[in-house]
Amino acid sequence: MKVLLYDETPKHKENFIKLAKEGFFDDLLFHRVIDGFMLQGGDPDSRNAPAGKMLGGGGPGYLIDAEIGSPHFKGSLAAARTGGPSNPEKKSSGSQFYVVQGSLQTDAQLDRMEAFKKIKYTPAQRALYKEIGGRPDLDQDYTVFGEVVEGLEVIDVIAKVPTASGDRPVTDVKMKIKIL
């Protein structure tokens, strides 16, 4: 997959570039894969993790201030974070991220999401949610800091791998990230 990082999220962009240049992500796993939802990776504890080890709690030891704004269309690159009352500022993990797969949305679903989240989608955003899909239920809760611009089909391939407990793929799916 080839990803474009957003200038509108400078803290997340700079952090992702820094970690990628350091080789931080090399050989880490997509440790949580849920078909119809997303692929999650970036946990340093996943490097050489034995089969069956629960993952998802590791990071570089710092959080990033939220830069929430962009919707969660299919192919969106977003920062994972701890949810709930323990993180009211919605600060992002320093290294864990997810790539949205999602599903096609209808006008009725988007209408409900607008009412529930008290947001308003533009006609262009509604069209994208209906044409390529995504996860509008995540909007305004997580920082989207990039998007897949080549290789959207790779998301669907990874999303179909068999998984075990904790949604960890049975066969490791490793990543290598480089900055172009």
Residue 20 belongs to domain with CATH number? 2.40.100.10
In-domain check, residue 111: no
Answer for the pair 36, 45: CB distance below 8 angstroms, yes or no: no
Please list the pLDDT of the chain residue by residue as tens digits (180 residues). Answer: 999 999 999 999 999 999 999 999 999 999 999 999 999 999 999 999 998 899 999 999 999 999 999 999 999 999 999 888 889 999 999 999 999 999 999 999 999 999 999 999 999 999 999 999 999 999 999 999 999 999 999 999 999 999 998 999 999 999 999 998
- Where in the sequence is the domain holding 52, given as residue range(s)? 2-103+134-167
Alpha-carbon separation of residue 107 from 101, 117, 123, 126, 138 (angstroms): 19, 15, 11, 7, 17
In-domain check, residue 108: no
In-domain check, residue 59: yes
Name the domain count of the chain.
1
Closest among 162, 142, 136 to 34, alpha carbons compared: 162
In-domain check, residue 83: yes
pLDDT at position 52: 86
Answer for the pair 43, 117: CB distance below 8 angstroms, yes or no: no
Residue with tokens 């080549």: 150
pTM of the model: 0.95
Tell me the CA end-to-end span of the chain in Å, nearest whole number: 12
- Output the 3-class SS for 68-122: CCCCCECCEEEECCCCHHHCCCCCEECCCEEEECCECCCHHHHHHHHHHHCCCCC
Alpha-carbon separation of residue 61 from 27, 58, 84, 96, 164 (angstroms): 19, 8, 20, 11, 27
In-domain check, residue 124: no
In-domain check, residue 141: yes
pLDDT at position 180: 86
In the chain, the amino acid numbered 88 is P
pLDDT at position 45: 97
DSSP string, 15-81: HHHHHHHHTTTTT-BEEEEETTTEEEE--GGGTTPPTT-------SS-EE-----S--BTTEEEE--
